[in-house]
């Protein structure tokens, strides 16, 4: 029974990784950019949710929506200001810029509010639900439910809406998409908006689940979400979901076995193994690249 509890904890943690990983994989699928500032958008989402709950005294779901909306705007601003002019630049230039944007966001937050951590206010009553003899936290169930709803919504947007079709077209061939009348710039901005909104939701969920946030909180979860995206196949939306959930379960199992100090290392061991054994990831496809 304890293992079922650990599995639930792993899925809850993996859900957070999966939401962040979706932003990485969507942006990479469109413009082949690893947006290392994405983890800091996750951090901003956590703080937006915190101030919405603590200062405005609103509930969890309104705070979640506000965080998603503001993070979507932040994502578009980052893309327009930092990345748009570098689309035809070398990949290393875009990568360095992404790292610079990440450091800028972190230090701006530290400058305005300090580096001290905040305790997330309690917005949901901590209760346990007995399922098949296992006591499962109501917060864990809520996290899983919210994640599933957001992932279903994302799949609907990508496969059933006009902007989703445009995103898939641009990811296959931007030049051909442009010739077919698709506004590539707006499509890329929409991709950043959706990915950043999911990261903002993950930030609020993280704050509610772990009850402690601070300005550098996005670094490690951001790296782990990137590993999850690579594990599932960078550029694959189902891969990001499976990669995030798998990574969360692996970390929880490692901790349950008594190796809690190695839980962070486990993620990087998985990255090394996947790059050696299957560099394209679980759902990724091997592609040839002209040089």
Residue 274 has pLDDT above 60, yes or no: yes
Cα–Cα distance list, 266 to 42, 130, 222, 247, 253 (Å): 22, 31, 15, 9, 10
Contact 65, 35 (CB under 8 A): no
pLDDT digits (tens, 9 = 90+) for 36-88: 899 999 999 999 999 999 888 888 899 999 999 999 999 999 999 999 888 88
Using CA atoms, how far apart are residues 215 and 117, in angstroms rounded to an integer?
Answer: 7
pLDDT at 91: 83
Q: Report helix, strand or coil for 88.
A: coil
> How many Cβ atoms sit within 10 Å of the Cβ of residue 4?
14
209: which residues sit within 8 A by CB, 6+ positions away? 12, 16, 139, 140, 143
Report, as an integer, the average pLDDT of 257-277.
86
Residue 26 has pLDDT above 50, yes or no: yes
Considering the segment(s) 2-120+133-277 as one domain, its CATH architecture is Orthogonal Bundle (1.10)
pTM of the model: 0.90
Using CA atoms, how far apart are residues 168 and 152, in angstroms rounded to an integer?
Answer: 17
pLDDT digits (tens, 9 = 90+) for 172-227: 888 899 998 999 999 999 999 999 999 999 999 999 988 889 999 999 999 999 99
| Domain spans in the chain, listed from the N-terminal domain onward | 2-120+133-277
pLDDT at 262: 85
pLDDT at 141: 84
């Amino acid at each position: 029974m304890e293992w079922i509890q650990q599995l639930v904890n792993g899925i809850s943690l993996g859900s957070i990784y999966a939401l962040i990983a979706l932003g990485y994989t969507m942006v990479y699928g469109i413009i082949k950019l690893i947006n290392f500032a994405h983890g800091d958008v996750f951090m901003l989402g956590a703080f937006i949710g915190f101030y919405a709950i603590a200062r405005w005294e609103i509930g969890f779901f309104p705070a979640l929506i506000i965080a998603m909306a503001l993070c979507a705007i932040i994502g578009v601003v980052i893309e327009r200001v930092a990345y748009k002019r570098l689309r035809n630049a070398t990949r290393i230039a875009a990568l360095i810029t992404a790292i610079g944007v990440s450091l800028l966001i972190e230090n701006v937050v530290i400058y305005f509010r300090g580096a001290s951590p905040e305790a997330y206010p309690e917005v949901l009553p901590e209760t346990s639900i007995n399922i098949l003899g296992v006591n499962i936290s109501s917060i864990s169930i809520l996290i899983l439910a919210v994640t599933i709803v957001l992932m279903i919504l994302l799949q609907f947007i990508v496969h059933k809406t006009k902007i989703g079709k445009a995103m898939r077209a641009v990811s296959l061939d931007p030049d051909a998409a442009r010739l077919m009348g698709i506004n590539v710039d707006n499509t890329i901005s929409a991709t950043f908006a959706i990915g950043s909104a999911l990261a903002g939701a993950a930030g609020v969920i993280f704050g509610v689940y772990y009850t402690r946030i601070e300005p550098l909180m996005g670094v490690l979860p951001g790296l782990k979400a990137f590993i999850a995206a690579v594990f599932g196949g960078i550029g694959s939306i189902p891969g990001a979901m499976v990669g995030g959930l798998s990574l969360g379960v692996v970390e929880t199992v490692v901790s349950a076995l008594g190796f809690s100090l190695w839980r962070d290392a486990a993620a990087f061991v998985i990255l090394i193994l996947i790059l050696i054994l299957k560099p394209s990831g679980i759902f990724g496809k091997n592609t040839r690249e002209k040089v």
